[in-house]
Amino acid sequence: MRPLVHLLFALATLSVARPAAAQDLSCDRGDREVRALRFAGNREYAAVALAATVATTPSSFAGLPVIGERRCLDPVEISRDVQRLETLYRRRGFLDVKVDTTVTTVKPGVIEITFTIREGEPMRITSLALRGLEINPDVRDAAQDFPLAVGGVFDRGALEAGRDTLVRRLRNKGWPQAEALVAYTTNTVLRTADVEVSVVPGVRAKLGRIALEVDAGDDNRRVSDATVRRAMALKTGDWYSARAIIDAQRNLYQTDAFQRVDLQPDSIQPTGDSIVNLVVRLVEGDRWAARGGLGWATLDCFRMQGSLTDRDFLPFAQRLELTGRVSKIGIGDPLDGAPNLCQGQARSDPYSRTLNYYTSMTVRQPVRANQARVPSLTLFSSTLSEYKAFLRRTPIGGALSVTDPFPIARVPSTLSYQVELGRTEAEPAFFCAVFNACDNESRTFLQRNNRLAALEYSIVRERANDLLRPTGGSTVRLNVRHASTLIGSDRSQQFNRGTGDVSWYRKLRGGATLVTHLRGGVVYGGGTTPRTGGFIPPQERLYAGGPTTVRGFRQNELGPAVYIVSRYDTDTINGQIFYRADSNSVTERVVPTGGNTLIVGNLEAQFPSPIAPRLLQIAVFADAGKLWNRGTTSRAASLSDEGPSVKITPGMGIRIASPFGAIRVDLGYNGYRLPAGAAYYNAPLQAGVAPLYCVSPGNGLSVSASGTNGAPPEQEAGGCPNSFRPTRGDGFLRRLNPSIWIGQAF
């Protein structure tokens, strides 16, 4: 408890000390540049905390063009810095602290500054009395973990923090007028202090009458009194709690039905009354809300989204939300009239030729008592694709979700059950390589409408200091999904999937930010043929590569892949015919097959641009990742991404501030050869059959002669080896991969 209080007090002091001074650290002709700032003799505070206290700041990356920034000495501020450091220590109990400065000339015009601190002996507490705790056991409980103790350092900041915590706890336990009086005497010769804290709780009170005053504007109220009281979760007879009143106000705001919410004790109530009457003043807002947007993205081409919300759909302020999203506008049928306005990556994706959409209708209860177990019901229909991997069509689906089903977890979480009837379309090579479905009958089985029922639990812990441009804190996301016949899924749609995502943000000197990100995932599924079940559906497999994972690779192209080639050669050996491609065969398409195990790490440093630093940032980054199929044999094993090596791709980019998040433009460098994989040839339709041939170099699958009535040749069944490696153009520019993303990538 004490170290935490000390840290909070120090940070509060630091945040106030620096902005209060008028700082001029820019460099003009004749000024001396501060190349380094050091602290010596400090034991109580770390150097990073002391550096945040003073105004004097060293240059950041002074030797680097564009991202470096020079800072010079301000003679007025350095004298004030001595006072700031001494004040910080004296409030901590170090009355004898002395701070000296040493200026060392490195070269003409460049200096290093050292603050030498002699802390001295601190003032210690010889007696600590907490009076008034005998009034009630709840008062004694409120005084637990008081931050000062006999023998400890007399820290006035910790004393004030402890008093405030004590008062806040009492006011949440039924004492609305609670106070705590602090008194202390010090002996500067002996370096001792006697501290006394007297608790004056006043009269314990319960909630009495809760009056509602609602301004509906047109005198046509929409939200009933019962709904308001249900959302507040305050009842007559409950012990008074300041926190419960604040929670009630927040609950009413979260219904989104009110423009203004004000909860206050009745102004005519006498002081010291054991009953506290509340007055709730509300101003109703608009019932309907509509939003829309239009944008362009690298893979989605033009996209639109919109929503319509009814904030009072059912009697208890349940909310109806109608949502729609459409992407691939310009290249997706039937809105495929402007392909030239779409980026080349989107035009080369066969699954972008179908319009992607998502429509949903959701009924949710925006708030319930104590914010626990808030349900929502959604019906949806969609057609969604994954770049060069698959197209998922879901004519109908539904989901029932509950927020915070386990409040004891103390972090926001969601438990949901989703059922959908849909089918997945993919290249025949994908089904053959991943699911061992190489014949038409097996592929047809996988591509027909199947029922997928999944139970999902997700946790999100947001501790970032800014949702749009975080410079401190962290974000954690965990997700697990289970699908089996036990909960209503088809036999061919069974799996267990878990993913985790952690991001850390740290502010550096000069306004720079360091971003660290880790992502991992595993998927489990079993079965040997499509009919035995347990396969991992394509949309549930893991993919990597692109602007949110490893930016040196194109979308989904890190890890296992198969190749569709435009031609092959015919080899005849001992009278048997074999179809085989060579390294010169043109690759028409890379088909990412995904994997069941994923590890990705990102390290990024963002610096203010010397031009318009509030608008632009410059980023340098290094991404690392590996995606593979563990525990696979035969054909699936051939898709492994060349052993356990992790791919690392560096790069640079810019960040453009916008009202809806940073616009990220990145350029990643990929120095790796394309991975080896199985090669296939999609033969044209012949006699009603479109055969799929394995043409990997060295394959041992013989091909029979053409059948009667124009039937295509048949290839022997068997595994297709990963012996094909596409050629890749040489040159630095060919190894650069551009990407665009809006918002936080991780």
In this predicted model, what pLDDT tens digit does every residue of 526-558 receive, in sequence order? 554 555 555 788 889 999 999 999 999 998 989
The C-alpha atoms of residue 476 and residue 457 are separated, in whole angstroms, by: 14
Which tops the pLDDT comparison, 466 or 482?
482
The C-alpha atoms of residue 650 and residue 671 are separated, in whole angstroms, by: 10
Q: Are 392 and 382 in contact (CB under 8 A)?
A: yes
Whether the per-residue pLDDT at 570 is higher than 70: the answer is yes
Residues in the chain: 746
Whether the per-residue pLDDT at 604 is higher than 90: the answer is yes
Say what the pLDDT of residue 468 is. 80
Whether the per-residue pLDDT at 189 is higher than 70: the answer is yes
Supply angle C-alpha 634, 635, 638, rounded to 5: 90
17 pLDDT tier (thresholds 50, 70, 90): very low
Which tops the pLDDT comparison, 633 or 291?
291
Say what the pLDDT of residue 285 is. 84
The percent of residues in the chain predicted with pLDDT above 90, rounded, is 44
Chain centre to alpha carbon of residue 395: 30
Highest CATH level, class, for 206-284: alpha beta
In this predicted model, what pLDDT tens digit does every residue of 56-97 receive, in sequence order? 988 875 445 445 678 899 989 999 999 999 999 998 889 899
The C-alpha atoms of residue 472 and residue 653 are separated, in whole angstroms, by: 20
| Dihedral Cα 638, 643, 646, 652, nearest 10 deg | -50
Say what the pLDDT of residue 397 is. 95
Q: Are 578 and 700 in contact (CB under 8 A)?
A: yes
CATH number of the domain located at residue range(s) 2-118 in this protein = 3.10.20.310
The secondary structure of residue 718, as a DSSP letter, is S
Q: Which amino acid is it at 555?
A: Q
Burial class (CB in 10 A: 0-12, 13-18, 19+), 597: middle
Q: Cβ neighbours of residue 12 under 8 Å, at least 6 residues apart?
A: 157
The yes/no answer on whether domain 367-678+731-742 falls in CATH 2.40.160.50 is yes
> With left for phi above 0 and alpha for psi between -120 and 50, is residue 634 left, alpha or beta?
left
Q: Are 13 and 156 in contact (CB under 8 A)?
A: no
Say what the pLDDT of residue 408 is. 60
The secondary structure of residue 29, as a DSSP letter, is T
Helices and strands in the chain, H and E counts: 11, 32
In sequence order, the β-bridge partners of residue 278 are: 210, 265
The secondary structure of residue 302, as a DSSP letter, is E
The C-alpha atoms of residue 707 and residue 631 are separated, in whole angstroms, by: 39
> With left for phi above 0 and alpha for psi between -120 and 50, is residue 713 left, alpha or beta?
beta
- Which of the residue ranges 162-176, 185-199, 213-227 would you say has the lowest mean pLDDT? 213-227
Q: Cβ neighbours of residue 648 under 8 Å, at least 6 residues apart?
A: 622, 623, 624
Whether the per-residue pLDDT at 620 is higher than 80: the answer is yes
Whether the per-residue pLDDT at 19 is higher than 80: the answer is no
Say what the pLDDT of residue 597 is. 94
Superfamily of domain 124-200: membrane protein fhac (3.10.20.310)
- Which of the residue ranges 186-195, 314-323, 680-689 would you say has the lowest mean pLDDT? 680-689
Q: Are 456 and 481 in contact (CB under 8 A)?
A: yes
357 pLDDT tier (thresholds 50, 70, 90): very high
317 pLDDT tier (thresholds 50, 70, 90): low
- Helix then strand then coil, in percent of the chain rounded to 5, is 20, 40, 40
Say what the pLDDT of residue 606 is. 93
Q: Which amino acid is it at 363?
A: V
Whether the per-residue pLDDT at 362 is higher than 60: the answer is yes
The C-alpha atoms of residue 122 and residue 405 are separated, in whole angstroms, by: 49
Whether the per-residue pLDDT at 644 is higher than 60: the answer is no
| Domain ranges across the chain | 2-118, 124-200, 206-284, 367-678+731-742
Residue 344 burial (CB count, 10 A): 8
Say what the pLDDT of residue 329 is. 93
Element (H, E) at 667: strand 663-669
Whether the per-residue pLDDT at 466 is higher than 60: the answer is yes
The C-alpha atoms of residue 379 and residue 320 are separated, in whole angstroms, by: 12
Give me the mean pLDDT over the 161-168 stretch: 93
The C-alpha atoms of residue 378 and residue 362 are separated, in whole angstroms, by: 4
pTM over 0.85: no
- DSSP per position, 553-568: S-TT-BS-EEEEES--
Residue in this structure with the two tokens 């509300």, named with its chain if needed: 282
Q: Are 446 and 428 in contact (CB under 8 A)?
A: no
Question: Which of 671, 726, 660, 717 is closest to 694 using CA atoms?
Answer: 717
Residue 162: phi and psi, rounded to 5, are: -65, -40
Residue in this structure with the two tokens 């040493």, named with its chain if needed: 102
The C-alpha atoms of residue 472 and residue 57 are separated, in whole angstroms, by: 20
Which tops the pLDDT comparison, 161 or 25?
161
Is it true that 2-118 and 206-284 share their CATH fold? yes
9 pLDDT tier (thresholds 50, 70, 90): very low
